[in-house]
Structure 1
Amino acid sequence: MPASTSRPRKRVVLLGATGSIGENTLRVINAHRDKLELVGIAARANWGKLAAIAREHNVRHVGVFEDEAFRAARADASSFPPDTKIVGGLAGLVELSQLPEADIVLVAVVGTTGLEPALAALAAGKALALASKEILVLAGKFVMASARANHARLLPVDSEHNAVFQCLEGHRHEAVRRIILTASGGAFRDWPAERLAHVTPADALKHPNWAMGPKVTVDSATLANKGLELIEAQWLFGLQCDQCTTVLHPQSIVHSLVEFTDGALLAQLCPPSMTFPIQHALLHPERVNGVEAPLDFSRLIGLEFRPVDETRFPMLRLARHCMRIGGVAPAVFNAANEIAVAAFLAHRIPYLAIPRVVEQTLDTITNFEPGDLAAVLATDSEARRVATSRLA
């Protein structure tokens, strides 16, 4: 009898299981239970939803980041499968990232919380599927060094970086002239400039194409998200600043393009759903039927591209400045943006104050090349303090 050619299931740890990336990841896992097994999950505070996921997938390793929610989950342990180990705080996320039985760790927690768990996964030699772009913006130098030192795979989950990853496969690094990340333009792409002074958080959260969390949706409107993605791309693909650019593409169907030295362009296209890049990252290099229907070219599909006006989108200008000067500037940009966006969502500052807060913070903190991760984390804390002081 011939030997079986079936592959064992990949065992997945999902950090950020209750957010939008987490929900789409669960859709992918549910569609491919013969290929993927969920062995660990974590969330910031929504332990009730974690319990439901744990019961559905029989997950016995659960992490809850916030202390009060962790204590509540432990107090109601009967909501989880029998013998479930519930861990808390950052140490808990790190523990989950190094589960011996895990093959791949998908980090989808918001902000910089996922940095230490991501580094822990790489140190353990796990494949790392990265959906939290802030991790490479904050500490790309150290994350990429850890991936190389531990011979660990780093698989991008952001739709734009996943698209570049697919277009680059099989091509030599020196054959790449530039990469072009597409940007939808967010909720205010077509608004007259004078209306932006009156934007509300509710307006900013109405993204025309994507269903995402509040912070990243606001970042899409300011194009801070695209700035962070350009910085991330520089680290992921080993490129110079002038090799990373962006273009407005309202339809969000072309997710990125790669231009080669011979002038040829390769593009990756799919509907605007995160299930496509998530599935590609989790099952790579295997390709199977997707969760959602592909593009239907029997229907009219129009693809539009526009140059980005950095006067209208000053956050992109600031991000590109940080790319050029390097050092801790990208970490300062990221930290100040997180503070400013949170203040905007809380109705503490107007929409147009977001770039002002970020620029003032960048002007205040002296840039330098960090020698270790501790220096970056200290700068991140200082940037948050400075940005908070600039909210008034």
Structure 2
Amino acid sequence: MTLPAERSPDRRMSGLLPRLLLAVTLLVPTLVLSVQAWRGTDEKAAFAERERAGVEYLRALGQITLTLVDAQSAAVAGQPVPRDALNRAVAEGGTVDARLGTELRTHERWAGVRAKIESLSDRSHTYPEATYTAYTEATDLLLALYAKVRDTSGLVRDPDPDSYQLQDSAGEELPESVVAAGRLADLAVLAAVRPQAELVRTAGELSNARAEVLDPAHDLVTNLQLAVDSTDSGTLGGNLLGELDAYQQAVEALGAAATLDTGNPNTGDALPDPAAVAAARVVVHAAAAALSATVLTEIDQLLEARVDGLGTARLVTVAAGVALFLIGHAPLLVFLVAAGRHRGSTAPPAPGAGPSGPAGDPAPAGRAGAVARHWPGGTPEPPGPGHPTPADTAPAPKQWEHSGAAR
């Protein structure tokens, strides 16, 4: 019987080569798509983490803004300046800048703000006007630092409508409104001590300062309402609306207190009461501090949820890449498994093995090759029916032996 000839290595390679080419053709785009998806997800996660760093920096700037404006109002009014609160806020801001300033590229601007604030504590102003001007320069630098943080952290380019509106409120409208409220209260104090000849200039400054308080507040209310309407968060609206209403009412009360009385043309414009404006300013700052803390917390929670979702997306990308690889390379894997089984089934016999058994195991040769059975003790089994006699199993004498005996 003739066995089928084994496939030659050349024929096996000729069948394997097209499959290898197909595998490579499918592997390259799969890897490219998987790597691009991974990089895109990783970049989005890094962007969101940098935004969270910006939120933390804005939180520190908010404390500095509140304490700096309080110090300004006290200095302009000739009252003791709360230096301890301002120094603590500046120290906290320095700690945050030391940790995040390299990533957000704020070291230079922060150094200018800090130097300006520290120079205020060392300066003794003879006139309230000079004090107001010096503090105004410091708050201008502080507002510029807000803009820098929002830009370098990417908050101004946030892709989601709700978080974008929130960062615009906390990083622009709120600090501008707080600073403007402080300046309005300070101008009301200055207007009371200015000469009558400067009444027209003073009235114009008060009107502009009042508008600078109300305009950012109006934009803030609009932005936060848009954020609530566009968010998927179940807690954003409930956490913001109450504090937003309190802030809006405080700003409206401040605007009413700072309104010029133009009803009597004989006496000209009546200036607002500095004490009433100062009291309204304190309420605005308290409402702004509570609202700012809530807004920044909501932004951070939205960004954290985004980072977590991107982490899940990375895992899905890896799983999809593995699945595409397996699906695309299934024909090659099946071929390799089948080839391995074929090589195992057609493997040559072990060296030294005979056709009928393992090496060294003699094949049976019929009755002539059978081993005689013995009784226990070595006694040969007696002949009987079906058992050969010794004569039957003894080999025949050779012819040369018979000839030698005859001789």
**TM-score normalised per structure 2:** 0.24
Name the one with the larger strand percent: 1
* More relative contact order, 1 or 2 (CA 8 Å, 6+ apart): 2
